[in-house]
Amino acid sequence: MAQTTPTTLVLEAESFQCQANWWLTYDSKASGRQILQARGGEGDAITVIDIKQAGTYQLWTRAKDYKTNQPGTRRFLLVIDDQQVDIESGKHGQEGWQWECVGSRQLDAGKHVIALRDSAKFYGRCDAILFTTDNTLDANTLSMHQLKQHVIDPVTVTLKHEQTTPVPQLQPGDQGKVIQTLSNANTRITFVQMHDQDNKPVIIRRTSVKLDKQWIDLPVDSRHEAVFTLFNTQSRVDLGSFHPAWPGQSPVVQMTVNGKTYTTRGKNQDPFAAGVRSDFIPRHVGTHDPMTVQVIHENHNGDQLHAYWHLDPQSHDARVMFKFVAKAKGFYSIGYSAFNPWETSEIRFNQLSPMVQFVRRHEQPVMTTSSCSPLPMAMVEPLSLGDVSLSYALVADPDHLSTSWPVAQEARLGLSMLNHQAAVQPTVFGPIMGFNDSRFEAGDHVTMSCRVLSMVGDWKQTQQVAMREIFEVSDDRQPINASLSQAYLNMVDLMASDQGGWDDKLMGFYNIESPSTVTHASPLGIVEASLLTDNEAFFKDRVLPTIGYTLSRPSAHFAASVPKDMHVYVNEKRITLTMPTQFYGAAYWQGLHDMLGRRNAWLEDLIFGDGIVNYSNDYSTIPTWSELLANYRLKPDAKLLEQIIRESDTFLEKEVYARRTDIQQIRHFYNISFYPYWWDLQDLFDLTGQKRYLDAAIEGANFTMAGQWAHPRPGKQSKLIHQGNHFGNSMPNWWLGDKRFRLGYPIADGVVREHTVPAWQISSMGLGFEQPTTLYATGKGPGLGMILMSAWAPNLLRLYGNTGNDLYRSYARNSIIGRFANYPGYYVRGETDLYQAADYPYNGPDVTSLYYHHVPPHAAFTMDYLVTQAHVRSKGAIHFPWSRQQGYVWFTNRVYGQAPGSIFADDKVSLRLTRKPFAIDSPMVDYLLGYSDQATYLVLMNQLDQPLDLPVSVAMDGARLATGQDVTVRDESGNVVGQTKLKAQMSVAMPARGLRVLCVGNRGKHTLAAATDLPMLKRGHVKQDIDGPWKQVHAFRIRSPFGHDGLYVVLMGHPQDGATAKLTLQQSDGTNRSFTSNGFPHEFVIYPIAMDTDLKLQLHLTDAKGQTIEPEHMTLYGADGMP
């Protein structure tokens, strides 16, 4: 008989359906980086697996133990089908994680219940369980990669919850009597008295909404709602994870498998189990005022809870305040489950930012606190039965929330997408059990306020109503210390400076999370900076090394060796040079080719020679059609466009409008993993004119905005910050090269000063976050960790231009205007203005984590915003060609400088941004420069919502600009609104949020040099194989837009330390130059070289043992590169 292939299965502990009082926690050494840790409570962690192949299985558990710290005490037992194994886990005595064989078991094909039992009651830790029919297998010999090949998903089974909600049974045929009605222009709420089976009155609330001047009765009323209180004499809340937990307070749940019922505890993150529950039934109605109705609820003891329903004259939402009197000293919370329960199959969409979107749902109820939700709102859009969409949302009342920077421990409310039976039903809790404001004395009043929003419209329309009307999101921000133009120039200066985090040897900006590691997150942003500032020195020192880096590095991250500490970014594979790299895709190479004026034909042959360019999705979720757009920009082709449309339409179906059920992990990046990549859909709309792509961009943008903070409202007041001349922040000392470093620490006396600022200046409203883990990060600083890398801002501003919906503009402006005057760092954790100073990245103190590799993408999205702003305000009359930088997380933006564009009728304008010849000192006005053969242009954009007279200083060069020249002032439509003469000091009247263009006609003929006018370099790449550790050499001649050539030579091998490489460069003009590399990577960057000079390259290579070889020389010809 043929032997049966052994079966091996791996079950990750973190995937258990019922975790009881085992805690899900992070561990970097775990197979999935998450584990279950016992906390001494009741109940087994239980899940169900499906065995396909019957047999005798060896059972292994991966447990953690310690050699010297109480070894063998953190024990637990594996239990299968209610029968525990004989050997406890967690007593291997080794330091860290080890697999332990704990027995064997005959398992039939079919479902089996797997449990973890906390036998020692002392913090047992389980990473995974392995089942194998191979009795020769030692699980400790398997690599992480091998283990992942055997990972299985548990079978999700229906859980029965012990707790039920008393739903009054109404008398049959009872039509009810209208007692009270609240009504305004949009919403009507009717309170109807009916009777239950005991003939007691029950108040049912019905809602109607207006559509096309007609009232529509909503199919949802209040009979399935629940109003309840939670109480405990003692309550402790644990904020160690994103969702709060209440130790020892988990619900009893049951599951039935193979006819047997198993009882355990659900997660102690279940907010319904945080206290003893008492339900209240609405029995009576009273009038409070003309726009407020009082509903009196009673529980089975006759205790009362009052609800006050209020409608403002023009609102879509109702405000409800719940209130009762505490009977005893202890901890209290009021809960409200609104509308009615839905099964997942009955809904089109639900959302509770940031964890829940699409039709995602947790298996069990969990709470998202108001502090940890950018948009604290639990919303459901049920499947529509007709043409009309209806949506229902339970929203935190902004008036009930803190007015300070969100802090995890100070949340006022909590929201759950599920009810206590794990059906979809938005629920709000307040105050949160265990928080300081949930503690009351007998006789105290306990209150909770929320908003109830029911309306005609889909989830996007409902969300935007909540943003506008409830959270009152507006764009009242204004610049602080610099305009966006000034900030951009400051960031370019920083990139060029010795304090900008650049490593000459590794040819990149330091990644401060890893020692001696560099990262290129926006290489095209670096090229753009050189072109727009007309800075050839920057091209030599930053751009040319960046091009070499992207040609030869296997990843965006690189180090000369694998760091001993924090090696998550770099491993052996990522320090092995690769030619050409497969990290950067078609968008990068097309952009580079265009920004170099398409003068390097060899680049197109090398990268695009085989057609489609491979690229990495390690750090992004770029769809294939997006990269194909780059191919199309390079070479427009009808068949390629047809392919792009086919693939993008599939993307819309399977990603944008999908019924996604996959709850994302809290360590995943919100703007990558939680919603579809929408940034390029507007590009596709611009290209095709097909509205479905704009509609899909709107869909994606609303996910983005749901991840930007809509609270607290900053208001008009001022705030005192840095009280006691202190700003708390406990971010770690990062790396700068091979040393720990944190700029400006220890903080000198007088650097942090107590002072008052406008509340909006340091407001969280408009900021986003990276991932749920870095958001909440309890105990790390004064507040939740938001980010300043708002790369989405230009995309939202473009969407405003395409739709006219000013909410997109508000969210764009709130994330960028008045936020920085230079690179501001990344994480911001509280109310401070330290990072808003222009000298902040030079002097610190670093309170935001100065990620130097983020400077180029930060500058790039700033420039994208500036150009988009000019385009939108001029309704497209100001337009410049662009390429797209993408591939590194959500840092995707248009980049400029590759070709002339248009300012009104002049379509030969080259975009620039320099400090001369025009100087704009006011931070309130952004500016751009343009040069053509006809004129010099100064584009001015006022950020204030009021007019101002703008001083403009002009440095006369005597050639293009001279005193007395005619100056025409044009508005955003190109209409002439003024005429004046050029002088050293001028004033321009700027309308509120307006645009003005100064047009100065050229004195005589001025032809602006363009990269496209340079000779084509047809051949600029040669290579040669080399014996020994050097492997291969590549040499690239690169024609720059500045009229010179550069040279990049790289040896692909990694010889041992002590090896040296010497390059002798023999030029056809008779000059010789020599360069030496003393360490890996062995490479040479040389600039400038005259375009017409032939180059003969001779290498002299000596390995660590002193053995020397001289490979055959290579030649790179000048002019067109041909012999």
Phi, psi of 525 (to 5 degrees): -65, -30
From CA 559, how far away is CA 505, in angstroms rounded?
10
How much of the chain exceeds pLDDT 70, in percent? 97
Instruction: Say if 900-1011 and 1014-1116 have the same CATH topology.
Output: yes
| CB contact at 8 A, 432 and 343 | no
Q: Which fold has domain 8-157?
A: Jelly Rolls (2.60.120)
Angle, helices 793-803 vs 806-816, to 10°: value is 160
Residues 6+ apart with CB under 8 A from 365: 270, 271, 272, 416, 418, 419, 420, 422, 427
Q: Which fold has domain 1014-1116?
A: Immunoglobulin-like (2.60.40)
Q: Which fold has domain 900-1011?
A: Immunoglobulin-like (2.60.40)
| pLDDT value at residue 1 | 42
pLDDT of 946-991, one tens digit each?
Answer: 999 999 999 998 778 999 999 999 999 999 999 999 999 999 999 9
From CA 1080, how far away is CA 506, in angstroms rounded?
9
With bands split at pLDDT 50, 70 and 90, how would you rate the model's confidence at 1105? very high
From CA 180, how far away is CA 192, in angstroms rounded?
7
pTM of the model: 0.93
From CA 895, how far away is CA 428, in angstroms rounded?
44
The number of C-alpha atoms within 13 Å of 719 and in the hemisphere containing its C-beta is: 19
706's tokens: 């749901």
pLDDT of 690-727, one tens digit each?
Answer: 999 999 999 999 999 999 999 999 988 999 999 999 99
Region class of 900: left (phi > 0), else alpha (psi between -120 and 50), else beta:
beta
226's tokens: 């629940």
Angstrom CA distances, 684 to 641, 675, 690, stand at: 10, 19, 8
Residues 6+ apart with CB under 8 A from 233: 328, 329, 330, 331
| pLDDT value at residue 1056 | 94
CATH code given to domain 484-704+754-894: 1.50.10
469's tokens: 């009307």
From CA 392, how far away is CA 380, in angstroms rounded?
5
**Nearest C-alpha neighbor of 512 from the set 729, 737, 667:** 737
pLDDT of 1050-1062, one tens digit each?
Answer: 999 999 999 999 9
| pLDDT value at residue 704 | 98
From CA 195, how far away is CA 556, in angstroms rounded?
68
| pLDDT value at residue 608 | 81
Secondary structure E strands in 715-857:
718-721, 734-736, 739-741, 755-758, 786-787, 827-828
Burial 814-852 (b: 16+ CB within 10 A, else e): bbbbbbbbbbbbbbbbbbbbbbbbbebbbebbbbbbbbb
| pLDDT value at residue 782 | 60
Per DSSP, what are the bridge partners of residue 631?
Answer: none
Per DSSP, what are the bridge partners of residue 110?
Answer: 51
Give yes or no for residue 777 having a pLDDT over 70.
Answer: no
* Torsion of the alpha carbons at 964, 966, 971 and 977, rounded to the nearest 10: 90
| pLDDT value at residue 779 | 41
From CA 837, how far away is CA 273, in angstroms rounded?
48
Angstrom CA distances, 1043 to 264, 729, 1021, 1051, 1091, stand at: 75, 48, 19, 27, 7
With bands split at pLDDT 50, 70 and 90, how would you rate the model's confidence at 615? low
Least confident among 238-252, 784-798, 889-903, 1109-1123: 238-252
Give yes or no for residue 780 having a pLDDT over 80.
Answer: no
From CA 664, how far away is CA 1045, in angstroms rounded?
48
Run of H or E residues at 230 = strand 226-232
| pLDDT value at residue 733 | 86
Least confident among 57-71, 108-122, 166-180, 865-879: 166-180
Pairing relationship of beta strands 925-931 and 906-912 according to DSSP bridges: antiparallel
887's tokens: 């591939």
| pLDDT value at residue 94 | 95
| pLDDT value at residue 277 | 96
Which residue has 């590799």 as its token pair? 853
Give yes or no for residue 341 having a pLDDT over 70.
Answer: yes
Angstrom CA distances, 194 to 131, 178, 202, 203, 292, stand at: 58, 9, 5, 6, 21
Give yes or no for residue 1004 having a pLDDT over 90.
Answer: no
| pLDDT value at residue 896 | 98
From CA 148, how far away is CA 769, in angstroms rounded?
30
| CB contact at 8 A, 470 and 453 | yes
Residues 6+ apart with CB under 8 A from 438: 235, 331, 332, 333, 431, 432
**Nearest C-alpha neighbor of 13 from the set 127, 124, 131:** 127
130's tokens: 């392995």
| pLDDT value at residue 616 | 67
CATH of 220-470, one of 2.40.300, 2.70.98, 1.10.260, 3.30.70: 2.70.98
| CB contact at 8 A, 536 and 543 | no
Instruction: For the chain, give the mean pLDDT.
Output: 93
**What is the arithmetic mean of pLDDT over 1063-1076?**
92
| pLDDT value at residue 604 | 86
Give yes or no for residue 387 having a pLDDT over 90.
Answer: no
With bands split at pLDDT 50, 70 and 90, how would you rate the model's confidence at 1005? low
pLDDT of 274-313, one tens digit each?
Answer: 999 999 999 999 877 889 999 999 999 999 999 999 999 9
From CA 775, how far away is CA 798, in angstroms rounded?
27
pLDDT of 418-446, one tens digit each?
Answer: 999 999 999 999 999 999 999 999 999 99
Among positive and negative, which fits the CA dihedral 554, 556, 560, 565? negative
* Torsion of the alpha carbons at 575, 578, 584 and 589, rounded to the nearest 10: 140
Give yes or no for residue 1047 having a pLDDT over 90.
Answer: yes
In the chain, where the domains are located: 8-157, 220-470, 484-704+754-894, 900-1011, 1014-1116
Give yes or no for residue 562 having a pLDDT over 70.
Answer: yes
**What is the arithmetic mean of pLDDT over 490-514?**
97
Pairing relationship of beta strands 226-232 and 252-257 according to DSSP bridges: unpaired
